[in-house]
A and B are shown apart, each in its own frame.
Chain A
Amino acid sequence: MFKSIKYVLKENFSNLFRIYSIAKYELLADMRDSKFGIFWNFASPAIQVFTYWLIFGVAWNRKPIEVNDIKVSYLPWLVVGYATWWFIQPCIQKGCSAIFSKTNVITKMKFPVSVLPATVVCKELFNHGCMLIIALVTLFLCGYTPQFNWLWIFYYMFCAFVFSESVSLILSVLTMLWRDIKKLVTSLIRMFMYFSPVIWDCTFSSHVPFHEFLNSIMKLNPVYYIIQGYRDAIFYGQSVLDHPVYTLYFWCVVLVLFAIGCTLMFKFKKKFIDLI
């Protein structure tokens, strides 16, 4: 197992330029496809956030979310959460077809297949950057000013990167073995969004039976850690040091996922061409 982790890491780090170029030109090709190009990288997440805010924030009149006596109104709270989700969700969804969509490349040249999930994640990192700019603008408009604690975002971005990379490693290999995985993931990901604190805070109030138990179950979701981390950094003035056990739990989960992904990748690296 350590051999496979070493193999995947080595292949990824020795091909950094390849990963960068593939991600860059895929983005460029996407932009060329449409007339307004990069405009859509900003517009589509903005429209989505606007929709959620209109329905949940305005129409259903959500109250400000309060943690540690700090109240945050719904719009800034949502924007930050959605910015994170806008990174993780496409990584998982497109990660499924990371290898399969590059069929014409891997059948025709000697290619380090294990870098493909990383190219997808890097590509989405760019979109995440666009979305973060939108989020920052919204925050300024709501009267927030940057603080040093905001720099924790970069740590949580790294968490999200490693988590997405691990998940897409696993899913990309499984999709090659079993094409149904992709459809399964596409259907489940919407459900997954509601089990993550993207548009609601994932806490059941006290009238729900077993609410304490349910709330801890929700926390087992690694995405909970990432999204909540972004918000902690921006609104609640907290950092990783405030919940060390949860951090440890998150990294254990991610490392296990990464190890599984590497093992699968290492085992099937020569077989992909026959599985197409």
Chain B
Amino acid sequence: MAEYAVKVDHISKIYSLKNKNNQHKSNKRFYALKDLSFTVEKGDVVGILGTNGSGKSTLSSILAGISDIDEGSIEIHGEQALIAINTGLNVQLTGEENIRVKGALLGLKKKEIQRITQSVIDFAELGDFLYQPVKKYSSGMKSRLGFSISLALDPDIFIVDEALSVGDKGFAKKCLDHMMKLRDNEGKTIFFVSHSISQVQQFCKTGMWIEGGRLQEMGDIETVCAHYSEYVDQLNALKPKEKKKILNEKFEERVLPDTKQSFFSRLLGGL
């Protein structure tokens, strides 16, 4: 019997929209994700594709357990971790101190931090910059450090959201190699969000295409990638006016009318 790492059943995520004057009075709400259902087996590597604003990041934060869902149910078996690059780095502190800060933020114990420190230093390849404050780092160096710390964690489910798009090619390859190792030797479940179709194709087994908050297609990576790039080409080939119309229709589909909730009803509701 195949065991599921993640089982998602008809989930929706709703955001409230502000109107043009930046006030909460528009009574509009918006489906960031609408009626998504899928199951992912343990050890699967899922590439999540989709155009900007289609809900990829929302989905990854839901999978990471950061964000709550409004409808449906979600079952996750195992510890999950979102690989985030620059978060939790304090720019006043040195790289070495930041390893300890971020380790602590991620909930590691003192001994665990000591254990991972050397491997993080080796992986990040920062040299003497390790002892400089992070504010002096280039953006590539920052992401090297952040990514190395995140990789030192040992969760069952990795969620990688656009993390490989920074850093030079050599480092990106190193990260990809490391994740391949995780995939092949340790059988981790990995969700991989990226705009680079070639990376996704190379790395993932299953593809998931989200469009306009809905699950468009899920299946073998080659097929999904082919359909997705076809769609993107098609969209780009359209005249600006037609494209705008399609995007507008898509947007309207996701909006739903709302009954306004005041501050106090939000505060008191469900107490």
- Quick one: which of A231-276 are within 8 Å of B by CB? 263-264, 267, 270-271, 273-274
Q: What are the residues of chain A within 8 A of B100 when measuring CB–CB?
A: 21, 25
With A25-B97, A110-B65, A110-B81 known as contacts, the answer to whether A17 contacts B104 (CB < 8 A) is yes
**CB-CB contacts of A103-141 with B at 8 A, as 1s and 0s?**
011111111100000000000000000000000000000
**Contact indicator A271/B64 (Cβ below 8 Å):** no
Give the docked Cα–Cα distance between A177 and B267 (Å). 8
Q: What are the residues of chain A within 8 A of B119 when measuring CB–CB?
A: none
Smallest distance from the beta carbon of B77 to chain A beta carbons, Å?
Answer: 15
Q: What are the residues of chain B within 8 A of A109 when measuring CB–CB?
A: 64, 66, 81-82, 84, 87-88, 105-106
**Contact indicator B90/A17 (Cβ below 8 Å):** no
Does B245 have its Cβ within 8 Å of any Cβ on chain A?
A: no
Interface of A is mostly: helix
Give the docked Cα–Cα distance between A264 and B107 (Å). 23
Does A211 have its Cβ within 8 Å of any Cβ on chain B?
A: no
Q: What are the residues of chain A within 8 A of B87 when measuring CB–CB?
A: 104-105, 107-109
Give the docked Cα–Cα distance between A274 and B33 (Å). 14
**CB-CB contacts of B84-106 with A at 8 A, as 1s and 0s?**
10111010110001001100111
Closest residue to A19 on the B side, CB-wise?
B104
Chain A interface, number of residues (Cβ within 8 angstroms)? 30
Does B68 have its Cβ within 8 Å of any Cβ on chain A?
A: yes
Closest residue to A104 on the B side, CB-wise?
B87
Does A219 have its Cβ within 8 Å of any Cβ on chain B?
A: no
Give the docked Cα–Cα distance between A274 and B261 (Å). 15
**Contact indicator B104/A22 (Cβ below 8 Å):** yes
**Contact indicator B107/A18 (Cβ below 8 Å):** yes
Residue from the list B15, B86, B105, B110 in contact with A111, Cβ < 8 A: B105
18 A/B residue pairs, CB under 8 Å, sorted by A: A17-B109, A18-B105, A22-B101, A22-B105, A25-B101, A32-B92, A104-B87, A108-B87, A109-B64, A109-B82, A109-B88, A112-B107, A177-B266, A178-B263, A263-B271, A264-B267, A267-B271, A273-B67
Instruction: Give A contacts to B, CB under 8 Å.
Output: 15, 17-18, 21-22, 25-26, 28-30, 32-33, 104-112, 177-178, 263-264, 267, 270-271, 273-274
- Apart from A25-B101, A177-B266, 15 more pairs, CB < 8 Å: A18-B107, A21-B101, A22-B101, A28-B93, A104-B86, A105-B105, A106-B66, A109-B82, A109-B88, A110-B64, A110-B66, A111-B66, A177-B267, A178-B263, A274-B15
Instruction: Give B contacts to A, CB under 8 Å.
Output: 15, 61, 64-68, 80-82, 84, 86-88, 90, 92-93, 97, 100-101, 104-107, 109-110, 133, 263, 266-267, 270-271
